[in-house]
Amino acid sequence: MKFAKRVERIKPSPTLAITAKANALRAEGRDIISFGAGEPDFDTPVNIREAAVRAIQDGFTRYTPVGGIDELKDAITEKFQRDNQLIYKKSEIVVSCGAKHVLYNLAQALFDEGDEVIIPSPYWVSYPDIVLLSGATPSILKTGEADGFKITPDQLEGAINKRTKAIVLNSPSNPTGSTYTFAELEALAEVIVEKNILVISDEIYEKIVYDGFPFSSIAMVSEDVKRLSVVVNGVSKAYAMTGWRIGYAAGQEDIISAVTKIQSQNTSNPASISQKAAVEALNGDQNATGEMVEAFSERRNYIIGALNKMEGVSCMNPDGAFYAFPNMSSLYGKAYGDKKVTGSASLAEYFLDVANVAVVPGIAFGSDDHIRLSYATSMKNIREGITRIENAVKNLK
Ligand SMILES: Cc1ncc(COP(=O)(O)O)c(C=O)c1O
């Protein structure tokens, strides 16, 4: 079969692939510990599940308006006002089938062939492919541990040319966990406003920050940058609702209308029942999120400490999200028997084959020096998995 060129332009999500491989090995009877998952290991809080059951029992099971029900848009505008001091009208909000779907629709609505979209690396795996699917070209801006995996205003300015349409910011970041301060966002906003490019700000990990780190959205910096911002968020990570598929965007009315138009010809509305559940997530008791973050914080402290104790491994202490992103490049060139480690992909393969531990190679996120470990798994799994990695690292000669 000859497929459309766009199929060749992209790759399947490597994080989903690792999770699938770990599950397949488990099904064969192997005792695999997975650090692959990009989702909280907690159940959706009971009040949210009950809201969904009520929606079903009330017969709220038909098509809704394409861009989401008014009740959910109200909950979202109130969330922005309460958490970020950002004022949006309902006409400036669209709800889609997850933040990934919002990002896909945005790229379809905004980007054309010939446009460039700046993506700081390490990046979430889907950004380059979503940009490629729109016909535009990703322009990768490299960051490293030395700058806390954050871009500087000078770096941003140097990367902008006349084809640049937008930059994708992700704070807290998947995979590094690095999180921009308000002052850092202010400095980037100055360049964004001066150069008049759009900023797509993926804030899906907003609620997962540690040690009281004050989360800021770039749209909070000024009215000028808010006008150029599309803020993307959702309920997947903050409320352990990855399967429900609800994400949303806030931005200028014309952009939101264009996204809604695109959505009207692909999925139509996000699931009616999930929308009712999301209303409860945003308006209801927020304690469950706090409890999850407390558990993530304890795990973060353990895993980052343990990784940094390993010979030749260094790992930045992340301010947000639930990933450790250690640099393991000093192991490249070493071997265990016939298993030679040459980069992050072969290291991940080595850990899976020899230690029964699944991790995601950094190359998937644009950095071959690193691997990603999700600590959205139990403390028991983390302790056992880390011990296995420790031994596997020691065995490399
Ligand atoms: C940075 C980032 N953005 C967006 C998403 C997608 O979230 P959703 O489940 O809402 O599609 C993820 C999920 O892994 C993510 O890590």
Summarised one tens digit per residue, pLDDT across range 82-118 is 999 999 999 999 999 999 999 999 999 999 999 999 9
* Ligand 1 pocket check for 171: Cβ under 6 Å: no
Q: Residues 320, 180: contact at Cβ < 8 Å?
A: no
Closest CA to 333 of 243, 240, 397: 397
What burial class does residue 309 get, using C-beta atoms within 10 Å of its C-beta: 0-12 exposed, 13-18 middle, 19+ buried? exposed
pLDDT of residue 13: 73
Query: What is the Cα gyration radius of the chain?
Result: 21
pLDDT of residue 383: 98
What burial class does residue 375 get, using C-beta atoms within 10 Å of its C-beta: 0-12 exposed, 13-18 middle, 19+ buried? buried
Summarised one tens digit per residue, pLDDT across range 338-384 is 999 999 999 999 999 999 999 999 999 999 999 999 999 999 999 99
- CA 218 to centroid of ligand 1, rounded, Å: 18
* Ligand 1 pocket check for 105: Cβ under 6 Å: no
Alpha-carbon distance of 290 to 296, in angstroms, equals 10
- pTM here is 0.97
- C-alpha count within 13 angstroms, C-beta hemisphere, residue 44: 21
What burial class does residue 161 get, using C-beta atoms within 10 Å of its C-beta: 0-12 exposed, 13-18 middle, 19+ buried? exposed
* Ligand 1 pocket check for 126: Cβ under 6 Å: no
Q: Report which of residues 9 and 51 the model is more confident about.
A: 51
pLDDT of residue 350: 94
* Ligand 1 pocket check for 247: Cβ under 6 Å: yes
* Ligand 1 pocket check for 206: Cβ under 6 Å: no
**Lowest-confidence range among 16-25, 46-55, 154-163?**
16-25
- CA 100 to centroid of ligand 1, rounded, Å: 6
- CA 124 to centroid of ligand 1, rounded, Å: 8
Q: Report which of residues 394 and 12 the model is more confident about.
A: 394
Summarised one tens digit per residue, pLDDT across range 178-225 is 999 999 999 999 999 999 999 999 999 999 999 999 999 999 999 999
pLDDT beyond 90 at 335 = yes
Summarised one tens digit per residue, pLDDT across range 251-278 is 999 999 999 999 999 999 999 999 999 9
Alpha-carbon distance of 134 to 124, in angstroms, equals 17
pLDDT beyond 80 at 12 = no
Summarised one tens digit per residue, pLDDT across range 138-149 is 999 999 999 999
Structure-token pair, residue 367: 């950095």
CA distance readout (Å), 297 to 34, 123, 213, 257, 302 = 19, 22, 12, 39, 9
Q: In this prediction, what percent of the chain has a pLDDT beyond 70?
A: 100
Atom of ligand 1 nearest to the CA of 173: 1
Alpha-carbon distance of 169 to 198, in angstroms, equals 10
- CA 59 to centroid of ligand 1, rounded, Å: 29
pLDDT of residue 248: 98
- CA 232 to centroid of ligand 1, rounded, Å: 10
* Ligand 1 pocket check for 180: Cβ under 6 Å: no
pLDDT of residue 43: 97
β-pair type (116-121, 137-142): parallel
- CA 332 to centroid of ligand 1, rounded, Å: 30
* Ligand 1 pocket check for 100: Cβ under 6 Å: yes
pLDDT of residue 206: 98
- CA 99 to centroid of ligand 1, rounded, Å: 6
* Ligand 1 pocket check for 242: Cβ under 6 Å: yes
- CA 204 to centroid of ligand 1, rounded, Å: 6
* Ligand 1 pocket check for 172: Cβ under 6 Å: no
Helix-strand-coil split of the chain, %, nearest 5: 45, 15, 40
Query: For residue 31, how many other CB atoms are within 10 A of its CB?
Result: 9
- CA 76 to centroid of ligand 1, rounded, Å: 18
What integer is the mean pLDDT of 319-344? 96
Q: What's the chain's average pLDDT?
A: 96
* Ligand 1 pocket check for 318: Cβ under 6 Å: no
Alpha-carbon distance of 208 to 166, in angstroms, equals 26
Alpha-carbon distance of 174 to 156, in angstroms, equals 20
pLDDT beyond 90 at 16 = no
pLDDT of residue 17: 75
Atom of ligand 1 nearest to the CA of 246: 10
Band of residue 37 on the pLDDT scale cut at 50, 70, 90? confident
Band of residue 20 on the pLDDT scale cut at 50, 70, 90? confident
Which residues, listed in sequence order, are joined to residue 116 by a DSSP beta bridge?
137, 164
